[in-house]
Amino acid sequence: MDTGIDHEHPDLEKSYHGGFDLVDFDKDPMETTPEQGMPTLHGTHVSGIIAGNGTMQGVAPEADLYAYRALGPGGTGTTAQIIAALEQAVNDDMEIINMSLGSETNSPDDPMTRAVNKAVELGKIVVVANGNSGPEDWTVGSPATSEKAISVGAAITKQKLAQVYTQKEQVVPIRQLPLSEKWNLKRDQPLVIPNSLDTLEQTIHDRVVLIKKETHRITNSFSS
């Protein structure tokens, strides 16, 4: 249950077996397209993590994947759409229902939460995202407040991240993607380690600049 799915994606074609669209109310739960305004990608992304079966493999590549589009353009939707999607998934006899969605409400009595409890009582395994507002108290969003669902959160420690600083003062984080091609610089770049940020402006052009900022992050700067 999400923003839909690009079921024509080569990594998802094998896994996808159907679903329903509770936004357009038809049997094609395709993601919102640019032509429809405010396109979405989240449902396809989550589907790939779960059951990608192509060049990229999900955690359960042999699973049968059904998509229920409960969120429309921009990833927004109503409580009624979400509950209707959950009801449809139960009626279609889905074994495991994943809900990577939620609200800012922290309540065990939220209508979505009560609907999730009912789905579990009917024999379904329901997995719900905790939300992105932690780690403080009372930041788990409904319907992850269900006492009967599997509520999932994430934890991260401080990391060393490389970043590119452009001449337009934009900062671009650098992350190596799995299976991506190795970086191939077309020409050598001199390495400069400035004594302070005050001297950076004078030396950054046509250089790779290594800056240690704070105690937990290494910043690689690059301009050409």
Residue 215's pLDDT band (cuts 50, 70, 90): very low
Write the secondary structure of 92-151 as one string of H (helix), E (strand) and C (coil).
CCCCEEEECCCCCCCCCCCHHHHHHHHHHHCCCEEEEECCCCCCCCCCCCCCCCCCCCEE
Q: Where are the beta strands (DSSP E) in the chain?
A: 16-21, 65-69, 96-99, 125-129, 150-152, 162-165, 171-174, 191-192, 207-213, 217-223
**165 within 8 A of 223, measured Cβ to Cβ:** yes
Question: Using one digit for the tens of pLDDT, what is the confidence trace for 100-151?
Answer: 999 999 999 999 999 999 999 999 999 999 998 888 899 999 999 999 999 9
Stretch(es) of the chain classified as CATH 3.40.50.200: 16-152
Superfamily grouping for domain 16-152: Peptidase S8/S53 domain (3.40.50.200)
Q: Which residue has the higher pLDDT, 22 or 201?
A: 22
Model confidence pLDDT, tens digit, residues 144-195? 999 999 999 988 787 777 777 666 667 777 766 666 676 665 666 555 555 6
Distance CA 129, CA 23 (A): 21
* Tokens matching residue 150: 């599997």
